[in-house]
Every structure is written in structure tokens, then in C-alpha cells.
A and B are shown apart, each in its own frame.
Chain A
Amino acid sequence: MIGSLKAIWAKVAKLRGDLQVNFGSYILRRVIYALIVLFVIITVNFFIFRVMPGDPVKMIIDPKMKPEVREALYEQYGLKKPMSEQYFLYLKNLLTLNLGLSFTTSRPIMDELLERLPNTLKLLGIALILEILIGVSVGIFAASKRGSAVETFVTSAGLFTHAVPGFFFQLILLLLFGFLIPIFPIRGTMSAPPPVGAWAQLLDRIHHLILPVFSLVIINFGYWALYTRNAMVEALGQDYIVTARAKGLSKKTVLRHHAFRSILPPIITIIFLSLPGIISGAVVTETIFSWFGVGRYLLDAVLKQDYPAAQGAFYFIALLTIISNFVADIVYGLVDPRIRVGGGEGK
């Protein structure tokens, strides 16, 4: 009994070993893993809206409408079909990226998402890039001044801004610089009507971007700064840093080429892992600043029980999450030589 168990275990171990031999099979495993996750997510995504309380049809139909008309509408939106049929139809549509029509606007959801996506990417993308650049540099700087007042200041500031509820800070900003001292617009992606001329339009868009981007950078830089600082402090305590210093390398080289380079793999990973947050994180910010983006669309869809629209938006986020995770895995393999050959083994 134990002997056969051992034999099976040896086979499994060998199989695992074979799989880990090259990067190609590493990628293959990641792809399979990603597909499984995707399947689970879209399934959950389907049922979660079906068990939510409330009747979607009430949102779009006048309650005084005749029952026959209501029935016809149920029929039209496919809500009378058995759950299993709805589910398979839903799977088929997602695979062909056909997200269906919105209950509220009757337009293709894909079109509605795509026209909002650039705005969301602009706002959250610019904010994310700035957060990372500022946070990571500040973190490195704090770690290099270990034990000084500068380090204490950076850690406390990062913790504080990260702990303050984001929406509260954003509302305060809006109150201060949009209302009391009205130097920035209170709402929207651009002025209505838009100014004439390409330059004027660009400046107008930037003007609308400043406040939300600034708020996001302040709220989130602490996360990057603290993560980088902690990783750098740990890296700087490693023996190979003492070796690098003993070799007579300059402080700058030790800091950048040895310490920072060795924490690059985890940093890159969390950068990719934070990408899906671009859209899900947009919900609050876009709502507060009345931004014409995917995040606000998602919230509206949920509030109006617009099943297809909400499902579509969630599907979008899930897809982005899975792709980001997948890319993070691959990039991690590229920047960390220890992962490149074996799949996580060989530390």
C-alpha cells in the first residue's frame, strides 16, 4: 500500500519535474490556469446577478403597464428562458465578445464600454504611472536614509494618506479647489461645450484631469513608497550588498544596480497585479468627479439592475485581471533568473 503510494508520488514528482523543465511548458501551465480562473469567474458573474434581489424589468417599465406587455418584454430580453439555457447563451456570447444590449439604453454594451474606456485609461493610467514613479523613488530614497527623520516622515506620510478614506479626501479636494477656490472644474471629462481648437481642447482635458489625478497620487503613493522602502531595507541588509560595498562600488551603484535591481521582480509583479485596479478602482473616483468612464458605468449598471451591462463591465475587469496576472507571471520569469528555468524551484 505504502509502496504503491510512493510509486504514485514519484510519478507525480517526475511529471512536475518534467513540466518545470522549460519556460514553454511554464507558460502553457499558466495559460491553462488562467482559462480555469476565467471560467469560474464568468460563471459566478452570471449567477451573482440572478440571485440579487429586485426585478430588473421594473426599472425600465412603467408599473402601470399592462401584464401582457410586460410579458412580451421579459420574452424579448430572454428572461423567461430556463436558467440553464440563459447560462449557455451567456457563455456563447462572452466567447464571441458579444456582451448584449443594455437594458436601460438598448445599445450594444461593448460599444458603451469602448467609448468610456479611453477616459478611464487616461485618468487611472496617468495616475498609476505617477503613483509608481513617485512612490518607488520616495521609497528608495527613504530606505537609503534609514533611521533618519526623512525616513520617518515618508513612512508616516505614506501610512497617513493611505489610511485616510479616499472618497473623503477627494470630496474635500473638490470642495476646496472646485467650489471654495474654484480653480478646477467640479465635474466631467471636458467642458461642455468644448472649446474650439485642438490645443484648447487638450488643455481643457488636462485641466479636468489635474484634480482627480492629484487625489489618486496622494491616496496611493504611500502603498508604493512603503512597499519599496520595506523591500529595499530588506535587500540592503543582504550579504551581497555588503559585498558590493566592499568591492568599492559607489553608493549610487550599490543602491541602484544591486539593491533596487534585486527587488525589481516583486515590484514588477505588483505593478501588473495593480493594473486591473485601474478599472475597479475607478468606480469611486469616477463617480465623485463625474467622469465619463467604465467605473461609473459599472456603478450605474448595478444600481439600475442592468444585468447585461453590469455583467459586461465585470467581465471586462475579470479579463483584464487574468491577463495582467498572466503577464506578471511571464515578466517575473524574465526579470528573475531563478524563475526562468524551473517553475519556482531552485532558490
Chain B
Amino acid sequence: MALLEVKDLKMYYKVRRGDVKAVDGVSFEIEKGEAMGLAGESGCGKSSMATTLLRLLPNNGRILDGSIKFDGKEILDLPEEQFRQDYRWQRMSIIFQGAMNALNPVHRIGKQISEAIITHENVSKNEAKKRAEELLEMVGINSERYRNYPHEFSGGMKQRAVIAMALACNPDLIIADEPTTALDVMVQAQVLEAIQSLRKKMGLSMLLISHDLSVIAQTCDKVAIMYAGRIVEYGPSTKVYNNPLHPYSYGLLSSFPDIMAPRSPIQSIPGSPPNLLEPPSGCRFSPRCPLADSKCFTDEPELMAIDGKNHLVACHKAGALGKVGEQS
């Protein structure tokens, strides 16, 4: 049984002009100890996915349908108070994008970590403080900095402190929402390494949300490519990276320059992501897809296995892609 099972999840934001279909029928699973990457352009619903999992939606966000099973237990119908106490941070913690603002500027770093421990576990203040200091050491921050305020930390240190905070209650799953986006490449590498080694050591599962495919390739066992609120391709990282089956994944992958390859112009995907208020009929990628034909504009493709058992793709043209790849 998988640790996290998401099935046909639908989450819409209600706005004056209708519903923004940010998460529209998404399914995936994360096994214990596994890391899954969720990739896609800005505004495709990746971060909404994260806030939906933790039920931290803004007032206009509604979960309409689907199920989220954590360790086999349905968590969507749990009462708010129970979910807050037993699941948030205790089982699932989150590292937000932009650690710069994820820490409260008027509270000491250490206090913000031990606060999480005290909320969920019946421990004394001193004990919580000791554990917070250990956590700081674990991410390479001197425990004497417990009493520091966020503005006294550098960006990379803040992000590491946020990681330490995410580990505070020994969760089973960490959701990392663009954990390294605000950092420069060197610090980014350090932070990723820290996440990776801690994850291995503690046997944590992770959902890594990023638009940066190289970050996902480095850290994740499998990857889901999201487009306009749906998953369009889903499978083991090696398979998806080496043999993308969806034209969008293909476009996304080729829009990244390869440092080893001979110099060539960067490919981009023409057009822009659709408005999620009224997504295109049929395949949502069809208006931007070079392969689209009449069927693509009317029928929505199902996510299904094409190549082997665990590599899924939602595309009528999945088979035809190889040829395009050769042409370009």
C-alpha cells in the first residue's frame, strides 16, 4: 500500500467569473521512502496541489471530488481539528517556496521550530528546545544560532532552517514546493544535497514541486508532468526523461539547455498556458500542440500506460512523438 494515494482529485477556486480549475482530476501515488517530482509551468496547479494536500486552501478554494488516502486512511473527510493536530506537520510537512518569507520575522528561529514540536507532542519546553538545536545542527547550522532572528540568517541558512523545521516532528512525507527557487545555484546544490541525505537517513517520502526539471531529475525516483490542472505524463524519472511520450513533456525537456551538448538554440513551446477558468476542450494542450488533429480538439485523452507498465501518458498521439523527435 502506498503512503499517499491521490485519486481523481479536483480542487477549484471560485472567482467571480466562474471556477478556476487548478487541480482537475489528478491521480498519483507515493510509496514509502519514495521521492516524486511534480513538474510544470507556472500556473499549472502544482502549488495548488501542495496546499490541497495539507488542506490549507484560501477561502475560495473548494475540493470538489476525489480522495486523498494517507497510509490507507481517507483524510479528506477528517474534521479540521483532528487533521490539524494529527496530520499537519506530524505526518506531512511542507517546505514552502521562498524561504525568505516562510519564517516569521519577529520570532526567534529556534522558537519557530520548537513551537511545532510542542504543538504536536507532549514534551517540555526544554526538551523541544534541545530537539530544535539538534535539528539545526543536522542541517549544518550551529545550535547557538537558536536565538537568532530570521533577518540574521543568509538566504541559504533560512532555507536550511526551514528544512530543519519541516523535519521537526519526524513526518512521513515532506512536500517541497519550489524549495530552491529563490537561491543561487551553489546554495541550491547544497540545500538539495541536505534534503537528499536527510531523506535517505530518515526514510522519508517526498513530493518535490518544481518547474526546474534538472532539480527533479537529481532527486526524484519518479516524475509527474502537470499541464493546466492535469497530469499529462507520469512515470519513473529515467523513463520520462529519456523517452518523453507527451508532446508537452517533450517540449518542456527540450526547453532546457544541455550543458554537455553542442550549442543549439533553446527550443520553446509556442503559445502560453491556457486560462484555467475555461480550459480548452479536448486535450488541454491541443491549441499549442504541433501534432494535434481533430480528435485532440474534442476528446480528452485518458492517462494510460503505453510504454511498459508504469509509464503513463495522456495523449492521443503518444506513439507518434518519436518521429517528431528525430526530425528536430
Contact = CB atoms under 8 A, between A and B. Distances in A.
Given A246-B93, A249-B115, A347-B151, A240 B54 contact: no
Contacts of B103: 240, 243
A246 B88 contact: yes
B161 to A, nearest CB: 11
Given A147-B59, A247-B115, A258 B104 contact: yes
A30 interface: no
Contacts of B59: 146-147
Interface in B92-118: 93-94, 96, 98, 101-107, 115-116
A244 interface: yes
Contacts of A249: 84, 115-116, 119
A247 B56 contact: no
A262 interface: yes
Contact of B151 (A239, A250, A335, A338): A338
A171 B93 CA distance: 59
Interface in B123-143: none
A246 B171 CA distance: 13
A253 B111 CA distance: 14
Nearest to B99: A239
B89 A246 contact: yes
Interface in B61-107: 84-85, 87-90, 93-94, 96, 98, 101-107
B149 interface: yes
Nearest to A263: B106
A265 B106 CA distance: 9
A159 B211 CA distance: 45
20 contacts: A146-B59, A239-B98, A239-B102, A240-B102, A242-B56, A242-B96, A246-B54, A247-B89, A247-B93, A247-B119, A248-B85, A258-B104, A258-B107, A261-B104, A261-B107, A262-B104, A262-B106, A336-B106, A338-B149, A347-B151
Nearest to B98: A239
Contacts of B115: 247, 249
A166 to B, nearest CB: 35
Contacts of B104: 240, 243-244, 258, 261-262
B94 A337 contact: no
- 6 closest A-B pairs (Cβ-Cβ)? A248-B88, A239-B101, A240-B104, A337-B149, A247-B116, A248-B89
A239 B103 CA distance: 8
Nearest to A146: B59
Of B93, B98, B149, B151, which is in contact with the most chain A CB atoms at under 10 Å from its CB?
B151
A208 B56 CA distance: 51
Interface in A205-250: 238-240, 242-250
A123 B28 CA distance: 66
Nearest to A347: B151
A247 B175 CA distance: 12
A248 B107 CA distance: 17
Interface string B220-260: 00000000000000000000000000000000000000000
A319 to B, nearest CB: 32
Contacts of A3: none
B120 interface: yes
Q: How large is the interface on B (under 10, 10 to 19, 20 to 34, 35 or more residues)?
A: 20 to 34
Given A337-B149, A347-B151, A240 B101 contact: yes
Contacts of B120: 248
Interface of A: 146-147, 238-240, 242-250, 253, 258, 261-262, 264-265, 335-338, 346-347
A331 to B, nearest CB: 14
Interface of B: 51, 54, 56, 59, 84-85, 87-90, 93-94, 96, 98, 101-107, 115-116, 119-120, 149, 151, 162, 165
A246 B98 CA distance: 15
A196 B210 CA distance: 79
Nearest to A237: B58
A248 B116 contact: yes
A247 B102 contact: no
Contacts of A242: 51, 56, 96, 102
A106 B165 CA distance: 70
A333 to B, nearest CB: 13
Contacts of B89: 246-248
Of A243, A245, A249, A264, which is in contact with the most chain B CB atoms at under 10 Å from its CB?
A243
B30 to A, nearest CB: 18
Given A247-B115, A261-B107, A238 B84 contact: no
Given A247-B89, A248-B90, A262 B151 contact: no
B88 A247 contact: yes
A35 B156 CA distance: 43
A126 B51 CA distance: 45
A264 B107 CA distance: 12
Contact of A246 (B56, B106, B149): B56
Contacts of B149: 337-338
A248 B119 CA distance: 7
Given A246-B54, A247-B89, A338 B119 contact: no
A130 to B, nearest CB: 27
A245 B149 CA distance: 20
Contacts of A147: 59
A147 B16 CA distance: 14
A245 B92 CA distance: 13
Given A239-B96, A248-B120, A264 B106 contact: yes
A237 B90 CA distance: 24
Contact of B96 (A243, A248, A261, A336): A243
B41 to A, nearest CB: 21
B85 to A, nearest CB: 6
Contacts of B105: 240, 262, 337-338
A260 to B, nearest CB: 10
A253 B116 CA distance: 11
A264 B98 CA distance: 24
Nearest to A240: B104
